[in-house]
């Protein structure tokens, strides 16, 4: 099935890994089929949204039967390029960066942090979670040696974020997951996702105080 990925809404695209993770768990438990209602209960996305998301990919299920778990799993694995490993670099091995290195993402999907960078001499030359930590001053040297590392995770002080981003852009980075409070300036062809944990927490507290769950919809 040929799918024009550009016509799939970004909100739908962001939910696909969530569906995929749940389907992996279903497959591991031996379950062979699942309804949109069961999916909805598990991933906390309403059934109508799930059916609409799936409709962008054609007829993935049958009315009255639901969805074949093996078929969905195979389909989403291909759609999300799960058989193709994507190497990621991490910049900033502080508390948050160290946690990422210990967790690493290969446990859940097709991404792996393959190298990390920091300025702290006590960390340079070490391995954390099996990932080598290099001197940030030698970023270009190490990245050019390895070649294709299209994604970077930034967990550095906000004041350093833009200058490091500029260096990553020069190296041909395609995507940045930014955990700093800084709002980074990047060319249009580079995808950047900002995750400010403090803002997310403030937002959660605000919604708890002023909105019910039903009001948000």
* Residues contributing to the annotated binding site for NAD(+): 92-97
> For residue 48, which of 62, 33, 57, 37 has the smallest C-alpha distance?
37
CA distance linking residue 130 with residue 135, whole number of Å: 16
Cα end-to-end distance, the chain, whole Å:
33
Confirm if 85 and 112 have CB atoms less than 8 A apart.
Answer: yes
How many residues does this entry show for the chain? 217
Residue stretches of the annotated binding site: 92-97
With vertex at residue 206, the alpha carbon angle to CA 204 and CA 210, rounded to the nearest 5 degrees, is 120
């Amino acid at each position: 099935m040929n799918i024009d990925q550009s016509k799939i809404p970004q909100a739908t695209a962001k939910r696909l890994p969530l569906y995929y993770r749940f389907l992996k768990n279903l497959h591991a438990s031996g379950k062979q089929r699942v309804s949109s209602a069961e999916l909805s209960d598990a991933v906390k996305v309403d059934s109508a949204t799930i059916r609409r998301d799936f409709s962008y990919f054609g007829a993935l299920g049958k009315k009255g039967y639901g969805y074949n778990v093996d078929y969905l799993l195979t389909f989403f694995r291909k759609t999300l390029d799960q058989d193709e490993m994507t190497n990621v670099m991490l910049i900033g091995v502080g508390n948050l960066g160290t946690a990422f290195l210990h967790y690493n993402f290969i446990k859940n999907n097709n991404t792996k942090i393959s190298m990390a960078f920091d300025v702290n001499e006590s960390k340079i030359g070490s391995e954390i979670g099996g990932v080598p930590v290099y001197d940030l001053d030698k970023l270009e040297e190490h990245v050019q040696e390895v070649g294709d590392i299209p994604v970077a995770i930034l967990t550095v002080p906000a004041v350093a974020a833009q200058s490091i981003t500029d260096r990553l852009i020069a190296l041909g980075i395609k995507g940045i997951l930014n955990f700093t409070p800084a709002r980074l300036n990047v060319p249009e062809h580079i995808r950047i996702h900002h995750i400010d944990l403090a803002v997310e927490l403030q937002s959660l507290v605000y919604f708890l105080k002023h909105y019910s769950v039903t009001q948000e919809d």
